Amino acid sequence: DKIPTWREENIKSDDKDEGKELTGGGGLNDKVSLYKGDITVLEVDAIVNAANSSLLGGGGVDGCIHKAAGSCLYDECHSLNGCETGKAKITCGYDLPARYVIHTVGPVARGHVGPTETNDLTSCYQNSLRLMKEHGLSTVAFPCISTGIYGFPNEPAAEIALNTVKNWIEENPDKITRVIFCVFLENDFAIYKKKMSVIFQDK
Ligand code: AR6
């Protein structure tokens, strides 16, 4: 029997269901999924936070994560001396179901996508995955880094997220067992769904 792929089955069925996870089937597809909803409810080894360079909290997904994790997260972040754009730092998850939070700082794009913005956003995904590897973690959920308050256009941001994760999994096949792309907006859901069916299609 044919293994279902992004294109053929999994995408169509759950279209608008908030909180539903769409998984691929077989090979690389098995390791990636698309989830629409709140990242703070996901029980994974690590959720990634789209933080700012102070690491002391803010709005958007950062605010949601700090609220759900509790004040101990703030205290640990306070001890980290901030984080540069494109870099990442790891903390405990505290009251979250996720064991760890990987805080990364996306580029402030304000609608502009040049080489610097592209490289910095790529580095966010790579450095987050590197921390996973260094800590022996195997399951992770990413939000759409930089596409909210920081204004990175959604389509190119999704392209960077998906291709960077794909390349990483191909180069580190044993380490990561599951990457969830956690989108919050209908627009991003549509963009990811479309791009995943191309980028992660079975060979
Ligand atoms: N779960 C998943 N995704 C979410 C959630 C959530 N609970 N809430 C929002 N999003 P943003 P940025 C989505 O603005 O652009 C903060 O103030 C949101 O819809 O959170 O990297 C930081 O402290 C969007 O798709 O992050 C920084 O100062 C995505 O998360 C600054 O914002 C990212 O939007 C970082 O801006």
Instruction: Tell me the pLDDT tens digit for each residue of 94-117.
Output: 999 999 999 999 999 999 999 999
User: What is the CA(165)–ligand 1 centre distance, in A?
Assistant: 19
Which residue CA neighbors atom 30 of ligand 1 most closely? 61
Tokens of residue 34, six digits:
């698309």
Atom of ligand 1 nearest to the CA of 106: 21
Which residue CA neighbors atom 28 of ligand 1 most closely? 52
* pLDDT at position 7: 36
* pLDDT at position 146: 98
* pLDDT at position 27: 56
**Region of residue 3 (phi > 0: left; psi between -120 and 50: alpha; otherwise: beta):** beta
pTM confidence score: 0.91
Instruction: Tell me the pLDDT tens digit for each residue of 5-55.
Output: 333 333 333 444 455 555 554 456 678 888 888 999 898 999 999 999 999
* Distance between CA atoms of residues 199 and 202, nearest Å: 9
The pLDDT-based confidence of 137 (bands split at 50, 70, 90) is very high
User: What is the CA(64)–ligand 1 centre distance, in A?
Assistant: 9
Which residue CA neighbors atom 7 of ligand 1 most closely? 38
ipTM score assigned to the predicted complex: 0.99
Local structure of 202: helix, strand or coil? coil
Local structure of 112: helix, strand or coil? coil
Do 125 and 159 meet the contact criterion of CB atoms below 8 Å apart?
no
